[in-house]
Amino acid sequence: MIDKLIVNADDFGMSEGATIGILLAHQKGILTSTTCMMNMPYAEFALNEAKRFPQLGIGIHLVLTVGKPLIDGAQSYTDENGNFRRPCDYEDGDPHADEEELYKEWKAQIEKFIEVAGKKPTHIDSHHHVHLLPWHHNVVKRLAKEYNLPIRQEEQIINHYEYVPCDITFYNKNMNLDYFMKLLNTYSGTIEIMCHPALLDQRLCDMSSYTTLRMKELDILRSPEVINYIKEKHIQLINYSDIRMKTSWQQQ
């Protein structure tokens, strides 16, 4: 049985509709956490709106595959127009960024978050899970140490914090209430469930192939069945600010 549950919405700030949908899923449902895309035009809107919801944990959704980078001049991950190269632009479908260029860009995204939000993010994850690619591990570990932050992990990369497995399967064909309830009965201990609730707008339709199902996610996360089950089973809803640090970075 799950003891503690993080429900984290990716793509905060991607569009106005995505942002409002995420806030609704927190205000009216079980969503506890989100992660913001700092190169998106609605990032500042998202972080400023979130100031009305102090219980919402807000991490950073590091970006490498959509939009424009915050720092100009990188060669390893940009196209001829200065945009991030898409996954399909790489031979194997996975970005391969120069380590130092990537560190500078992702650090700039974190620093912009701090400037707008007035505080550090609660944790680190990434769009399309690019921080979990083995050749990017050094960069994300370097940033996690520098800012003293936990990261989303499917397999353990750092052990300075309590390990929280992340389930990424509540998506696409698994987008239904029965599957979400199954997840709540599958795990034990502390778990993160990744999600993408949103209200649909034109920008979201233009940017993403995953559209109408985001609205279905929003309904599920606010459904009485889910809310009541979590209450009945005494599952504690938390975010990454509640994750216990085990070992200081200086000890390893």
pLDDT tens digits for 103-154?
999 999 999 999 999 999 999 999 999 999 999 999 999 999 999 999 998 7
CATH number of this structure's domain 2-251, picked from the four choices 3.40.190.10, 3.90.1150.10, 3.40.50.10490, 3.20.20.370: 3.20.20.370
> Rounded distance, CA 170 to CA 1, Å?
18
Instruction: Name the pairing type of β-strands 236-237 and 124-126.
Output: unpaired
Look-up: residue for tokens 């200086």? 250
Angle, CA of 220, 226 and 228, to the nearest 5°: 145
For 111, the 3-state DSSP assignment is helix
Could you tell me the residue ranges of all domains in the chain? 2-251
> Rounded distance, CA 118 to CA 161, Å?
23
**pLDDT tens for each residue of 156-207:** 787 778 889 999 999 999 999 999 999 999 999 999 999 999 999 999 999 9
